[in-house]
Chains A and B, each alone.
Chain A
Amino acid sequence: MENNKLLISHAPHIWGGFSTSKIMFIVAFALLFPTAAAIYFFGYYAIYMILASVSAAVLSEFVIKKLRKKRFIMDGSSVVTGLLLALTLPPRIPLWMVAIGAFFSIAIAREAFGGLGYNIFNPALAGRAFLSVCFPGEMTSWVIPPHFNYDAITGATPLGENFTYQADKLSLYKDLFFGNRGGSLGETSVMLILIGAAILIILRIIDWRIPVFYIGTVALGSFLIGRDVLFQVMAGGLMIGAFFMATDYVTSPVTRNGRIIFGVCLGILTVLIRNFGSLPEGVAFSILIMNAFTPLIDRYIRIKPFGFRKKEKNA
């Protein structure tokens, strides 16, 4: 045999074949369900927004990786970030703003911190927060679903102060569930979000603990302060936030217990912001705040190793 061809590497010498890009691909696939709802309810313009966001995100990553002379791998993470960003934006925001948001998400919130894996804040939500600060007007102008008609009538989101609803409760719940309501592009259809989320949970891409404890805490908190639980859970960005944003690996805790704590804290924050803060909606900010606490949670919530005994620590 030819010795000169032999190489050295660390064990193990076989791999499971699961990769970051596969994960991103599956997440992007799951996001197609809320995306379909976005297009159905808000028309062709939603497609343009998504295309603008995704292409701006991928391009930003490419350029920055080249500038920093790092290897560019099309691992799909920019696609997911771009898609998520678009889905959190109001449905009639100008495309150039979308592109700026996507650039901020990738260039500032992610690459400036050292790239995927080193970012502290969820890039898509950071981009959204940036746009809210820069363009507060555009970021809070909502329309009621015009379907394929561009000239939509402005209207309030269900959580907004001016939101009024004439019909009975049941059809309100129905509209919330199917998505026929005002709101950000991808947050309206609870049903399609749940389908996408089910895919991620069944394929074990995301841990069910974060969304379940998050939504559960919001439900409990709303119940305790006498709000309509079903309404609070389905309205706003809670569903898409809990399943698709709070579960972002990089910015959420790594241990199971840490994730439970993360979910519960998110829930408490969201209820507080919604009911006692000056903003109508608190999902995005709750997640950003908890992102900042993730390193702390990971530092203190560890798992006990096999055979761990208390007294051994002193020994």
Chain B
Amino acid sequence: MNIEIKKKRAFKGLSLPENKITAKKPIEVLPVPDKVVIPLQQNIGAPCEFIVERGDMVKTGQKIADSQNYVSAPIHSSISGKVTRIIKVVNPVTSNVMDSVIIESDGLDNWIELKKLFDIKKSDDFSGLKKIIDSIDGKEIIKKIKEAGIVGLGGATFPTHVKLNPPKDKKIDTLILNGCECEPFITSDHRVMLEYGKEVLMGLYILNKVLSPQNIYVAIEKNKEDAIIYLGKLAEEMGLDSIFKIIALESRYPMGAEKTLIRTITGRIVPMGGLPMDVRVIMNNVATSKSVYEAVIEGKPMIDRVITVTGAIENPKNLLVRLGITIDKLVESCGKTESGVNYLIIGGPMMGISIVNTDFPVTKGMNCLLLRKSRIPFEQNCINCGRCVNICPMKLMPLAYVRYVKKSQFEACREYYIENCIECGCCSYVCPANIPIVGYIKTGKNQLLKTIG
């Protein structure tokens, strides 16, 4: 297997305490919940509209919401049962109010009929599987992906079918599968690579068929050596080793950030405000690849995902859960929380969002639930030390945002290219004055969005 070790990287980065305490814990399947809450907006782009009504009976996998808009992904019921209520839920990430349905389970987990073309758990006939994939038309594949409601699972939740269908003038020659998982604590992608390696690689084969790029890379940080070795071996077994290359990267934060990862691997620089496709690259998360496989070969829509529940809790775990299960259920299934937990964070410690509402459901983009005990350090004045400037992977000047947001001069933030910030949190992490710089940045960005209208 072709494994390339890359020492160089396109950014300075931080070496964070990894705390990947669940790395060795196999994915546990959580029982089907009695009740799910499913919000209408689970992707970047247009929200969906319900196509079911209160009182309707739905099956597992049945489409319950869709949109005419192309940049959108349909939403499916993750259990079978009855639609009992339509409520409003506040999205902790955007603070938008989203319509959501509550579905109460009938206890049967009655699925819609799935057209399974191949059973990868039972059969080793990989060349047969490849023939099946080769026989499906590229357009058909994209349609299936759209119908299954698949979005990028790395957190950005951009609808995958849109990504796979770039405008005609954008030629794609490189596909990168991102398995970096550079944030501390999170291990869901790591476990997916180890336990769903076949699905991930066959998903890659499907993506290859759709995009036919010249180069395919699977990017994994070195701290997941077992995944690198396993996928390498698997690729040889499955006869896929000739189509892609594994890139083993240093474990530095934020290695998995799209633009810097593209530069690290290909040397190409995505222009400011541009997309990876502007430099002929498409990047997908490893877990997305698994979902693509399931959608195309098993006809299974996106109704579950792997999520890491970790931090100050008795039994941190990697769980395979139905979407829409509420967060308190996840916490319960992992034992007692340590006393003094004061933060419940969706996502990792660097970019995650803290929430207070434990009724909030698991959505498509959620890869981690982190419980923490922490005390926020006292914010002091900026001392102009330049640490934030030196660490920023996007080469921005974060201290300027602090200064101008404090003065409510939001336009000035744009002069410093605030919209390029990826909110990685490196600047806040290194700031000796303990300034929550990313908080200022988010305020600045929101204010600018408002003024545009």
Interface band, chain A:
35 or more
Are B382 and A117 in touch, CB under 8 angstroms?
Answer: yes
Are B343 and A11 in touch, CB under 8 angstroms?
Answer: no
Are A305 and B394 in touch, CB under 8 angstroms?
Answer: yes
Which listed residue, B328, B383, B386, B428, touches A117 by the CB 8 Å rule?
Answer: B383
Which listed residue, B17, B395, B432, touches A20 by the CB 8 Å rule?
Answer: B432
Complex Cα–Cα for A113 and B347 (A): 41
Are B269 and A306 in touch, CB under 8 angstroms?
Answer: yes
Are A304 and B395 in touch, CB under 8 angstroms?
Answer: yes
B376 contacts partner chain A, Cβ-Cβ < 8 Å: yes
The dominant DSSP class at the B interface is: loop
Are A250 and B384 in touch, CB under 8 angstroms?
Answer: yes
Residues of B within 8 A of A5 (CB): 340-342
Within 8 A of B (CB), among A8-25: 8-16, 18-20, 22-23
Are A302 and B356 in touch, CB under 8 angstroms?
Answer: no
Residues of B within 8 A of A226 (CB): none
B234 contacts partner chain A, Cβ-Cβ < 8 Å: no
* A244: min CB distance to chain B, Å: 15
The dominant DSSP class at the A interface is: loop
Are B374 and A13 in touch, CB under 8 angstroms?
Answer: yes
A157 contacts partner chain B, Cβ-Cβ < 8 Å: no
Residue ID in chain A nearest B417 by CB atoms:
A305
Instruction: Determine which residue in A16, A115, A307, A309 has the highest number of CB atoms from chain B within 10 A of its CB, and name it.
Output: A307
A151 contacts partner chain B, Cβ-Cβ < 8 Å: no
Residue ID in chain B nearest A249 by CB atoms:
B385
Within 8 A of A (CB), among B337-381: 337, 340-345, 347, 349-358, 370-372, 374, 376-378, 380-381
| A5-B342, A9-B376 as given contacts; A14 in contact with B432, CB under 8 Å | no
A254 contacts partner chain B, Cβ-Cβ < 8 Å: yes
Are A254 and B397 in touch, CB under 8 angstroms?
Answer: yes
* B343: min CB distance to chain A, Å: 6
* B391: min CB distance to chain A, Å: 9
* A130: min CB distance to chain B, Å: 23
Q: Which of B52-60, B109-117, B212-220, B271-279 contacts A (4 or more CB under 8 A)?
A: B271-279
Are B433 and A20 in touch, CB under 8 angstroms?
Answer: yes
A224 contacts partner chain B, Cβ-Cβ < 8 Å: no
Are B434 and A19 in touch, CB under 8 angstroms?
Answer: yes
Within 8 A of A (CB), among B392-411: 393-397, 399
Which listed residue, B184, B272, B387, touches A305 by the CB 8 Å rule?
Answer: B272
Are B350 and A14 in touch, CB under 8 angstroms?
Answer: yes
Are A254 and B386 in touch, CB under 8 angstroms?
Answer: yes
B228 contacts partner chain A, Cβ-Cβ < 8 Å: no
Residue ID in chain B nearest A13 by CB atoms:
B349
Are B433 and A117 in touch, CB under 8 angstroms?
Answer: yes
A60 contacts partner chain B, Cβ-Cβ < 8 Å: no
Are A309 and B436 in touch, CB under 8 angstroms?
Answer: no
| A5-B341, A305-B394 as given contacts; A255 in contact with B354, CB under 8 Å | no
Are B270 and A307 in touch, CB under 8 angstroms?
Answer: yes
Within 8 A of A (CB), among B257-285: 259-260, 269-274
9 A-B residue pairs with Cβ-Cβ distance under 8 Å, sorted by A, are A1-B344, A6-B356, A9-B343, A10-B428, A11-B347, A11-B423, A13-B372, A254-B385, A308-B395
Shortest Cβ-Cβ A-B pairs, 6 listed: A117-B381, A10-B439, A12-B425, A307-B272, A249-B385, A6-B356
